[in-house]
Amino acid sequence: MYHFPPPAADVARPYQRSGGDIRLLPTRGQALAGAMLANLALLLLLLVATRLEIDWRSPGALTYCGVCAVAVAVRLGLARSGSRPLRALMHFVEYAVVFMLIGLLGAVGSYPVSAGSHGFYDPALQAIDSALHFNWLAWYELVCAHPALQVAGRIAYEAIYVTPALILGFFAWTGRRREAHTMLATFWVAAAITLAMFYFMPAVGPFAYLWHGPAPYMPASELWQPELIPAMRHHAMHVIDLGQLRGLVSAPSFHTAAAVLYILIAWPYRPLRLPVLAINLAMLLSTPVEGTHYLADMLGGAAVALTSLGIIAWLERLPLRTSVRGDAMARLLAPRT
């Protein structure tokens, strides 16, 4: 089971001398901010390369900008507050906006990534499902025959936004700032790995690939992959409306990756354990139909989650400080003439 490292002071600045110690790595917050800025720069390059642009005047874009402006105002306004509830609110707003931006960068990034992809891997993914004796059509027909499953499935599928609010709210209230940054970093790594894998194995999903004829029930993910991915590849679409973003990643399943991450991150904390487990098991059960995912997609998503946790755990073990004397380090960092 994955466990966060024990709380520790994490406030020194890079290369700051403190009692003969020199900090080698940035703080978690600084590292996360740097990663997101690098992510933004790469996204802008991809948009230019694929001749795509964002409509910043759309209501969706203005809404995101407004949310960020409010978050900055809350962060600055409550920075000196000595009230525990107000400081918890300040940190929760900060975490929530960072989480939103990570998701936004990933969703927008799926458009230029799909534009540069080639082919579809549905036959291979369906072959894996057949080898595993997973019948997606039977799963879909079961949901079609029971309206209660349709309602429950949609609610559970949208819980991808509920669980992080619970976890980050708990971290904000209990002062676990380090753990919150680690969770956000893990989520960012999972999103990056998912997009990279999607580039090499794009798919239209089992709903488009296996179902033929009128649809008795339209899942939450609908049929955006077979419509938008070819449009991206042929440059028939040039403007991205942030208010109309569609999920284009079929393989691997990011819902599955998120569910596994949430369960493992919340497990060490007793107040979170059962609620997060129940919510995300329901989300996993809804993912094949509502997310139109093969079982192979979901296994890939679980692998993404475990890989992301492993990467962050490895980074957490890197030495943050060195005992090299300050004057020796100063000579080491001094510019060469």
- pLDDT tens per residue, range 202-224: 999 999 999 988 999 999 988 88
What rounded mean pLDDT belongs to the chain? Answer: 86
Question: Would you say residue 82 has pLDDT above 90?
Answer: no
* Sheet containing 21-23, strands listed edge to edge, beginning at the edge strand earlier in sequence: 17-18, 21-23, 321-322
pLDDT band per the 50, 70, 90 thresholds, residue 26: low
User: So what's the pLDDT on residue 323?
Assistant: 46
Beta-bridge partners for 53:
239
What letter would DSSP give residue 51? Answer: T
The Cα–Cα gap between 333 and 15 comes to 10
Angle, CA 118 vertex, CA 212 and CA 227 arms, to 5°: 40
pLDDT band per the 50, 70, 90 thresholds, residue 319: low
The Cα–Cα gap between 33 and 44 comes to 17
List pLDDT tens digits, range 234-265.
988 889 998 888 878 888 999 999 999 999 99
Question: Would you say residue 66 has pLDDT above 80?
Answer: yes
User: So what's the pLDDT on residue 320?
Assistant: 52
Nearest to 164 by CA among 177, 147, 183: 183
Q: What are phi and psi of 301, to 5 degrees?
A: -65, -40
Provide the 3-class DSSP secondary structure of residue 214. Answer: coil
For 101-164, the three-class secondary structure string (H helix, E strand, C coil) is: HHHHHHHHHHHHHHHCCCCCCHHHHHHHHHHCCCCHHHHHHHHHCCHHHHHHHHHHHHHHHHHH
User: So what's the pLDDT on residue 33?
Assistant: 80
As a whole-number percent, the residues of the chain with pLDDT over 70 amount to 86
The Cα–Cα gap between 27 and 283 comes to 33
pLDDT band per the 50, 70, 90 thresholds, residue 333: very low
What is the rounded average pLDDT of the residues 317-327? 53
The Cα–Cα gap between 313 and 182 comes to 9
The Cα–Cα gap between 194 and 35 comes to 16
What is the rounded average pLDDT of the residues 126-138? 96
The Cα–Cα gap between 276 and 162 comes to 9
